[in-house]
């Protein structure tokens, strides 16, 4: 079997990690696989298996593969072209703008299966364009697009995209919850929509989590994510501010990550006088040593699709408290990985307080080294259906 996987870049953490793990799985199968990345400089080549062939993209694809400021830093001409195509997409549509751009891009093929690893972010958006690239510029028996989000919450839904998805043979969603949300918006696409869960690189996590960080506190909560609005840090910090009035010490919340809200989060920590309770340690290339000796992972976002970290906690044996999102019940509670709570501040307050007071029967779980079983079954079903 010959396969092509297309992605705009490897900058977006969750999707990038998902693809690195997917390539590891593909590399163990009798598949001749090509990888096309619109911005190849974003690839961590040490994470690409040796038997995956990395293709050289047409230079115009960089316009879709990177942010405007970074394109300008490389080439003023390409930056100006990006401005032009972005304006055209806002005036007409992303598809119409990309159709013009793709006139300067070669056609590739022939493949048995081609997968666009990112989806359409909206109607008047230029990037990422991977789904349309498959539709317009790739010869393949079967073409598929991966949906990695709750499209009802991430701003990507537009009814007009239904015609775009009809240019593709298969739509792959990262969870049943994600699939259900997608089909609520696009019910006519039911026959071509299926689930293919994210893979987890178990060996890599087990290797990278040592040596484990040790903590002085009896109870340690941990969160590793981008510091952005979706992750709902401000309401969680206020919940911890309220908890401090009841239990003043003996616990810690370690936050790993960086993002646009970091300075504001740091300011709020000082305002609530949580410096001894909440530790904001910034971005870490390897966050896994912080996990094994933690007591619980907090996943408190306003919305999520199928966070990679749930399986990663399963590998390590770390219980999860998650707010209710489209896949939380399915991936956390139904698989015995923790507790799903209502998606509001009071629920966060009650859950953390109950954990600290020992009123919740969450304990250190057994490491789940077979967490990919469902994804393996789904991938095999996809390949056998071709």
Percent of the chain, pLDDT > 90? Answer: 93
Question: Percentages helix, strand, coil for the chain, rounded to the nearest 5?
Answer: 45, 20, 40
Q: How far is CA 97 from CA 89, 117, 157, 260, 296, in A?
A: 5, 20, 19, 29, 46
Of the chain, the end-to-end C-alpha distance in Å amounts to: 10
Q: Which residues contact 286 (CB under 8 A, 6 or more apart)?
A: 208
Q: Please, which pLDDT band fits residue 364 given cuts at 50, 70 and 90? A: low
Any alpha helices (H) in the chain, and if so which ranges? 13-27, 62-65, 68-74, 76-91, 94-101, 130-137, 161-165, 176-185, 202-208, 233-246, 262-271, 308-316, 328, 345-356, 373-384
Compute the chain's Rg from CA coordinates.
Answer: 22
Rounded to 5 degrees, what are φ and ψ at 354? Answer: -65, -40
Residue 283 has what pLDDT?
93
Model pTM score: 0.94
DSSP 92-141: S-HHHHHHHHGGGS--EEEEEEEEESS----SS-----HHHHHHHHEEEE
3-state secondary structure of 283: coil
pLDDT number for residue 361: 78
Distance of alpha carbon 189 from alpha carbon 182, whole angstroms: 9
**Alpha-carbon distance 264 to 227, whole Å?**
10
Over residues 269-314, the pLDDT tens digits come to 999 999 999 999 999 999 999 999 999 999 999 999 999 999 999 9
Q: What is the mean pLDDT of residues 248-262?
A: 96
Residue 68: is its pLDDT beyond 70? yes
Percent of the chain exceeding pLDDT 70 equals 99
C-alpha to C-alpha distance for 48 and 39, rounded to whole angstroms: 15
CB 81 within 8 A of CB 72: no
Which domains occur in the chain, in start order?
2-199+373-384 (3.40.50.2000), 203-356 (3.40.50.2000)
* pLDDT recorded at residue 155: 87
Nearest to 127 by CA among 163, 91, 94: 94
- Give 189 or 14, the one with higher predicted confidence: 189
Model pLDDT for residues 16-60, shown as the tens digit of each residue: 999 999 999 999 999 999 999 999 999 999 999 999 999 999 999
Q: Which of 360, 227, 210 is nearest to 295 (CA)?
A: 360
365 has pLDDT over 90: no
Please name which of 329, 336, 330 lies closest in space to residue 362, comparing C-alpha atoms: 336
**195-231 pLDDT, tens digit each:** 999 999 999 999 999 999 999 999 999 999 999 999 9
Q: Is 363 helix (H, G, I), strand (E, B) or coil?
A: coil
130 to 40, 50, 106: CA distances (angstroms): 14, 24, 14
């Amino acid at each position: 079997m010959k396969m092509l996987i297309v992605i705009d870049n490897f900058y977006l953490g969750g999707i990038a990690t998902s693809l690195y793990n997917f390539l590891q799985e593909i590399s163990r199968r009798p598949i001749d696989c090509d990888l096309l990345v619109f911005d190849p400089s974003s690839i961590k080549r040490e994470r690409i298996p040796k038997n995956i062939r990395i293709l050289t993209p047409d230079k115009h694809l960089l316009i879709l593969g990177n942010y405007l400021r970074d394109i300008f830093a490389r080439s003023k001409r390409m930056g100006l072209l990006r401005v032009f195509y972005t304006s055209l997409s806002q005036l007409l549509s992303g598809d119409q703008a990309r159709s013009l751009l793709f006139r300067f891009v070669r056609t590739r093929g022939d493949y048995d299966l081609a997968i666009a690893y990112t989806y359409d972010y909206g109607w008047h958006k230029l990037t990422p364009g991977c789904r349309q690239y498959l539709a317009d510029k790739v010869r393949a028996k079967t073409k598929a697009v991966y949906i990695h989000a709750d499209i009802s919450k991430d701003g990507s839904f537009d009814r007009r995209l239904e015609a775009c998805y009809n240019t593709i043979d298969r739509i792959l969603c990262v969870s049943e919850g994600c699939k259900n949300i997608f089909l609520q918006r696009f019910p006519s696409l039911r026959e071509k929509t299926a689930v293919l869960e994210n893979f987890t690189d178990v060996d890599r996590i087990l290797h990278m989590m040592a040596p484990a960080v040790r903590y002085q506190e009896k109870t340690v909560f941990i969160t590793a994510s981008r510091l952005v609005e979706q992750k709902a840090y401000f309401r969680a910090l206020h919940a911890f501010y309220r908890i401090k009035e009841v239990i003043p010490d003996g616990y810690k919340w370690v936050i790993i990550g960086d993002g646009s809200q970091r300075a504001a989060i740091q300011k709020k920590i000082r305002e609530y006088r949580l410096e001894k309770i909440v530790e904001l340690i910034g971005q870490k290339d390897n966050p896994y040593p912080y996990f094994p000796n933690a007591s619980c992972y907090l996943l408190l976002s306003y919305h999520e699709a199928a966070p990679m970290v749930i399986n990663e906690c399963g590998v390590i044996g770390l219980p999860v408290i998650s707010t209710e999102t489209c896949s939380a019940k399915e991936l956390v509670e139904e698989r015995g990985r923790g507790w799903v709570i209502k998606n509001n501040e009071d629920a966060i307050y009650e859950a953390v307080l109950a954990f600290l007071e020992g009123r919740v029967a969450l304990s250190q779980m057994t490491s789940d080294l077979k967490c990919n079983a469902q994804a393996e079954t789904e991938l095999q079903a996809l390949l056998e259906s071709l």
